[in-house]
Amino acid sequence: MIPLSVLDLAPIVEGADARQALLASRDLAQHAERLGYRRFWLAEHHNFAGIASAATSIAIAHVAAGTSSIRVGAGGIMLPNHAPLVIAEQFGTIDALFPGRIDLGLGRAPGTDQLTAHALRRTRAGGVDQFPEDVLELIDFLRPARPGQPVVAVPGAGARVELWMLGSSLFGAQLAARLGLPYAFASHFAPAQMMRAIEVYRRTFRPSSHVAASRLMLGVNVVVADTDAEAQRLRTSHEQAFLAVRRGRSIRLPPPVDHLEVDAAGRAMLDEVLAASFVGSPETVRRGLTDFIDRTGADELIVTGQIYDQAARFRSYQLLAGLAGAD
C-alpha cells in the first residue's frame, strides 16, 4: 500500500456543536499520528451547518498543537476567497510555530455558494479568473525576502511550507504541471475527470524547486468496519448529508440508518459523485484500493471518512492502517 493521509472536514454531527467537532478532529489527528498516517488536512468550506473548519488556518494550528510528528495542512485553502499576502502570513505563522510540518493545498473553487463567496471577499475583483496570478503572488511571498522588496510577509517569507495544487478538473492539473507543484485531485467527490487529469498532469509536468518529479495524491472515501454490512450502514451518514447539500439544504452529519430510502435519481447521483469510495470489511476495502492504485498509479491516497460515531471513525482508520502495514 502507498502512503495514506487523512482529509477531515471537522464534521459537526447531530447533537453536537463546533467546539466538539474541532476537539474530535484533533483527537482523530492524534489517532492518525499514532497509526502512521503521513498527513492530516482540513478543508475550507463556508456556510455549511455540518462543517467546522471554515477558519481553516486556525483549525490547522489547533490540530498541529495537539500533535508532534504528522504533517498538518489545508486541503485546501480556497485562494479566491483571500488575499495572497494574508495566506502567506497565516501559514508563515503556523510554520513558525510548528516548523517543517505544514502543508498548504490551494484550490480555485470558493468552497461555498456565490453569495457567501461575495461576503467573504467583498469585491468582484480577483476571484477564480485571477487564480493563477494569485498562486504566483503567494509563492513569491513565501520565498526568502529580497533586498528592497516593498512588501514582505512577516512571518511568511522563507517559510518551509509544502505547497500543493488541488483540483477537480483539468485546469488544476495543467496549472500544477506548469508550476511544478505536487497535485491532489478531488476524486472523493468529483471523479469524472480523474483519469484525464492524471494523464495531463504527468505528461506536461515541469520539474521545479518545489519537486523534481510529478507527485500525485488522490482523494478517496473509505469506511472500514468488521463486516461489509456494518460499513455500508456507517456510510449512510455521508450519503444523507451529500443528498441534502445537492438538494439545497445544509445539515449536520446525521446518524446512520439501517436502510436509506433514495429514489433512482438520487442513487444515480450518489453512485456517480462518490464513485471513488471503498466501503466494507478490511478484505473488501483492500481489494478495491489495490485495484484503484493499480489503475491510477497514485503516489499517495488522502482518505476521508464521514462517520457519525467517533469510535467507529477511529476503528475505520485503524483497520485501514492495518491494511497499509502502518498499524
Place of cell 487564480: 131
Between CA 51 and CA 22 the distance in angstroms is: 10
Side-chain-facing half-sphere of 91: CA atoms under 13 Å:
32
Cell of 114: 456565490
For the domain spanning 4-324, the CATH number is 3.20.20.30
**What pTM was estimated for this model as a whole?**
0.95
pLDDT of residue 326: 44
- Reported as a single tens digit per residue, the pLDDT across 31-74 is 999 999 999 999 999 999 999 999 999 999 999 999 999 999 99
Per-residue pLDDT reduced to its tens digit, 161-203? 999 999 999 999 999 999 999 999 999 999 999 999 999 999 9
Residues ≥6 apart with Cβ < 8 Å to 176: 165, 167, 182, 183, 201, 205
> How does the average pLDDT of the chain come out, rounded?
95
φ, ψ for residue 92 (rounded to 5)? -65, -40
Task: Compute mean pLDDT per 10 residues along the chain, 327 residues long, and list them.
Answer: 95 98 98 98 95 97 98 95 96 98 93 77 65 97 97 98 97 98 97 97 97 98 98 98 91 97 93 96 97 98 98 98 73
